[in-house]
Structure 1
């Protein structure tokens, strides 16, 4: 993955830069935010940064730290997925397998990542974001007596204590090493994110509350949140979060593969607005966006990226409420894609096609519905109906055992197999038990229910 470099004025047209600056200027002014900094990254390169401040001559820059709140959860989720990819845990493990008996016993790692474990939104006692972490000295104190509000797996219910549990799992499986130290060595340092830390490091912004009915400000206190820290304690900069947005869009083989990031970006909760540790939404034109919002007393943050366009936007502000950083970040993505859509890479042919895979391509029929199978990157396949409304399609990822796994829609998670006859030729495709044949209702293939031996012809109605 390319490392984002400092933004340069020649990377975007003047009209695009002015539109981006105008958007954040309006956001800072109308939300009455003390300061706001934003950045846009594409293909791993920072295209633009901008800032506004209520103090003339003291606008923050892309190296100024802000508290990023629940964007922290995306980092914890990556640590969990690294453990999964290393075989240290399974997403369907019950959390008590790794933490012992707790009030959350029986809920799974996957449910915690997707906020479907049914746990309470907040830790019991005084609000954890505004009180010292010492008030919650152990896991029992994080969960309390009424931790389970809904049956696990039935609905999406956002849970901050759920991510505190995931941070505890990370520590337990790293022999007690603090989760933020694991994050530094395994993720932040490899990605060059040297300004993302658990506690603030200068230069950093101060957090403020803005009076709702007067032009007045009040400084917000900062507390270390202890065991709740994996839910929202990190500080970061626009520069570092550009690196993070680029990573979430493309992956990095030294940290987490593109395939695992794609898995995290897929809907994992009812409603389709949450993946594994990531929030999901759509741009105005329907393109999928992935990221997360964040808030802590004195700070709000938003990060969204478009994996198809390899485009990301970050907005950080230092007010407790008001600044709609997630909305602004999505608007920055829209401005860039409207003003300067990404120039696609040139088409290039492959030099060494696999003859057996190439032989699978072309028309296939599900009953009488024509479909086309295409060979895409590597050994992956794409099945698409040949006529509008003529059936279901999906992309399929090649697996080591010679099958393919569906990545979207009706076939998400389903298996595609090329079934061979005794002579080694392909008889048909099996897609989750659906039989696709080279001709409509091929009598030589095992079509469920069979095919009339009289074949196609003048049959009476």
Structure 2
């Protein structure tokens, strides 16, 4: 592994220190009010949804504005959760993996027009999925009647298509298809490319100065990520029940074990231009969203809402973990929230980008960006 430039190490060290050593001036009056309300909201949300461990980080202009952990990270309530507690981030893995794949392609080591058929099992997977009862495979309609096109296994879907969730229908609209996205590492290796774990670590994790993040269970450089992992819980009839940790390994679709501190480091490096090749940050975050239903581009849901562009991803490991990563690019504002239950998941659509329907996201956008009215949870606690 190549040595990181000293400037990267110094920037990373400064960023980590800024979490525990906030500016002496502290947040301004408006930010202080936003933090106080959002803090109370999350504390109430955690209690209402019986979440053992919850962690949050808010960044502005690439620097931590506020971070906090709630609850405990074990099943005996003896280990206090911190911003270094790790969680399975589930599908929030996707934007990180996508950025690494873009960087690998721009370096000439990978072709984004590689067909998904480079995966020897792609034809069988597509055939099975397109004839299954899974909505994003065989198609149909969502609960509100919104049509979802089926996968077309006769179309030559490429890696580029898959990174933009264009494996369904004629590819003219996105359909969130995580099972197909999970085949990306097999496509890359089938085309003679490097192991995806090596690509992500070299292109994203190391340049961001992140240590002790696990790219799946079998990551030999996972460090303390598994030792600090908050075990997952499922809430049944209002009672917490400890669940088994999934043994799925790292894929482009999921698998990373990380803390809010580590994801904040990634976000800061991303916005500082240290991770994506020139022009790509603007291509992903600044380009307008034309479709009223929003879009999915290069590992991110994208939408326009109340005059603001929102880029985000949710994470859902059923009965175990949930996560949210939301960016408001024009305000240089980021939210990261991780939980060791599925409570952050809000049954979002497969064909529409609508993060404002998440109560946590809606409250954050109201508190920190003045967009909409804040949601409420357990009002007596606020």
The two structures have a TM-score, normalised by structure 2, of: 0.69
**CA distance in structure 2 between the partners assigned to 1:102 and 1:270 by the alignment:** 31
Pair 1:336-2:368 in alignment? yes
5+ long unaligned stretches in structure 2: 1-7, 127-154, 218-224, 347-354, 372-382
How far did residue 270 of structure 1 move? 8.4
Q: Residues 34, 101 of structure 1: CA spacing in aligned structure 2 closer, same or farther, 3 A cutoff? A: closer
Matches within 5 A, 1:356-367: none
Of the two, which has the highest radius of gyration? 1
> Aligned-pair distance for 1:307?
1.8
8 Å contact kept, 1:35–1:52: yes
> Aligned with 1:204: secondary structure?
coil
Distance of aligned partners of 1:21 and 1:56 in 2 relative to their CA distance in 1, 3 Å threshold = farther
Q: How many residues end up aligned between the 2 structures?
A: 299
Inter-CA distance 88–184: structure 2 relative to 1 (3 Å threshold):
closer
The Cα shift of 1:89 comes to 4.2
- Does residue 23 of the first structure (1) align with residue 52 of the second (2)? no
Note if contact 2:174-2:295 (Cα within 8 Å) is conserved in structure 1: no
Change (3 A) 1:102 1:273: closer
Verify: 1:111 aligned to 2:161, yes or no.
Answer: yes
Which residue number corresponds to residue 258 of structure 2? 236
Cα-to-partner distance string for 1:281-338 (whole Å, 9 max, x where unaligned): 345x421111211011410000111222221110111113466596424533542334
Q: Are residues 1:76 and 2:97 paired?
A: yes
For the structure 1 residues 57 and 42, does the alpha-carbon distance in structure 2 shift closer, same or farther, using more than 3 Å as the test? farther
In 2, distance between residues paired with 1:268 and 1:194?
38
d(CA) in 2 for partners of 1:304, 1:35: 20
CA contact (8 A) 1:269 1:275 kept: no
Counterparts of 1:418-437 in structure 2, within 5 Å, are: none
CA contact (8 A) 1:303 1:313 kept: yes
**Partner of 2:174 in structure 1?**
156
Moved over 6 A (4+): 54-57
Q: Map of 1:313-328 to 2, 5 A cutoff?
A: 313-321=335-343, 327-328=359-360
Q: Is the 8 A contact 1:209 1:220 kept in 2?
A: yes
Query: Contact between 2:120 and 2:190, CA under 8 Å: does it hold in 1?
Result: no
Indicate conservation of the 8 Å contact 2:178/2:253, yes or no.
Answer: yes
Specify the alignment match of 1:144 in structure 2. Answer: none
- Aligned residue for 1:260? 280
Quote the Cα distance in structure 1 between the aligned partners of 2:115 and 2:292.
20
User: What is the root-mean-square deviation in Å for CA atoms of aligned residues?
Assistant: 3.0
Highest RCO, 1 vs 2 (Cα 8 Å, sep ≥ 6): 2
Gaps of 5+ in 1: 119-150, 340-461
Q: Which residue of 2 aligns with 1:194?
A: 211
**SS at the partner of 2:336?**
strand
